[in-house]
Structure 1
Amino acid sequence: MKKLAITCALLSGMVVSQVWADAASDLKSRLDKVSSFHASFTQKVTDGSGNAVQDGQGDLWVKRPNLFNWHMTQPDESVLVSDGKTLWFYNPFVEQATATWLKDATSNTPFMLIARNQSSDWQQYNIKQNGDDFVLTPKSGQRQPQAVHDQRRSGRHYPSVQRRRAG
């Protein structure tokens, strides 16, 4: 009986690992088909219970690798632009721009799976899938879970990212 329980425990661990691997492979495969896109987006930041903390909207332009323009229009306007090496953040309200190295500013964020899609980025997340929705949980425990939704229209992929805060 102990042998059966141990075998079942080992097999269930292998199945869970395989499910995570399949979800990561599926998401990576979908993102590999996207070299550039534009999307108008809505963003919902939620707490650990799923309650909305902040809603936002804007436009996003991405050309892989590492070129993007994230223009948040609501609730407050801000612009995040990358030329592939430098990340520029502009806040029109205070008329202030900040520049940092892209490689230093983008560690451990699932957005880089969309913008950059390097193997090292994929190693930072456990990924679960439910249809076209993917939940990415950082392995480091430093960041909150993220959701990536792959919306298809006219046969094209339009990925989006949702942040969640633990409450």
Structure 2
Amino acid sequence: MSLKCPFRLGVVRALSLPLLVVWLTVAQGAQPTPIESLNANLAGMVSLSADVEQLIIEADGGILEESLIRMLLKRPDGFYWETVEPYAELLVTNGVWLWSYQPDLEQVVIEPWNKEESELAAQLLSGDTGGLSAEYEIASLASDSREVSEFVLTPRVSTNINRRVSLSFTSSRLDSIVVEARNGQRTVWRFVNVVLNPQIEDEVFQFEIPEGIEVIENSYVQ
């Protein structure tokens, strides 16, 4: 004995089509936007320590500069960027003041920190993406691995000094940032020996001025 469906075929088709449309709409709505996906990757970085390999590449492909940097990050405003090679230099901020220390010159410059005027890469690392969509079109690139997330930021206006900014994550761990300027020069940061969310004391972001160092204070009013 064969079992019969209680619905005629035409009725089933009539019901299936709107249900399919609803299902597709819900499925599409569940997909995060590129900015939401980028924020999700950045949100996991409450603190970070990493070694950074920096390359500055000229438009013709020549290496202009290669540096090794030690980086520490603690949100909301702690940022420590120490160039180890080829020349020692330290940039550190607690969110109020920025210290720029050059040991070779025995000199430190102190000035107020303005996050809005900082480099885009620093803003991204700090998780400050509030106005990002207004300035950049954000695209999420397809990847063969679900663990890899890649994003491309393209300026909305031609007056932006950047032509393109790329970010790559693996399992929400930052792998690289590439900034391409309109003159063709590229700055590449590769993050290695990454430790996500280590315990970092606030004192790390408060620069202690060594004795005998020249202090230059640029305490201008914003």
Same fold (TM over 0.5): yes
Residue among 155, 170, 174 paired with 1:158: 174
Stretch of structure 1 that moved more, 29-38 or 90-99: 90-99
- 1:135-154 maps to which residues of 2 (within 5 A)? 135-140=152-157, 141-144=159-162, 145-150=164-169, 152=170
Question: Could you say which structure has the greater relative contact order, defined with CA pairs below 8 angstroms and 6 or more residues apart?
Answer: 2
Larger Rg: 2
Aligned amino acid, residue 32 of structure 1 = A
TM-score (norm 1): 0.70
- What is the Cα-based RMSD across aligned positions, in Å? 2.7
State how far apart, in whole Å, the 2-side matches of 1:50 and 1:128 are: 25
State how far apart, in whole Å, the 1-side matches of 2:77 and 2:124 are: 10
Counterparts in 2 of 1:161 and 1:98: CA distance versus 1, 3 Å: farther
Q: Residue 74 of structure 1 corresponds to which residue in structure 2?
A: 85
Correspondence 1:43 to 2:59:
no
Counterparts in 2 of 1:104 and 1:65: CA distance versus 1, 3 Å: closer
Aligned length: 144
Residues 140, 152 of structure 2: 8 Å contact kept: yes
Counterparts in 2 of 1:37 and 1:55: CA distance versus 1, 3 Å: same
Unaligned runs of 5+ in 2: 1-31, 144-148, 185-222
TM-score (norm 2): 0.55
Unaligned runs of 5+ in 1: 1-20
State how far apart, in whole Å, the 1-side matches of 2:65 and 2:140 are: 24
Counterparts in 2 of 1:104 and 1:119: CA distance versus 1, 3 Å: closer
Q: Percent identity?
A: 22
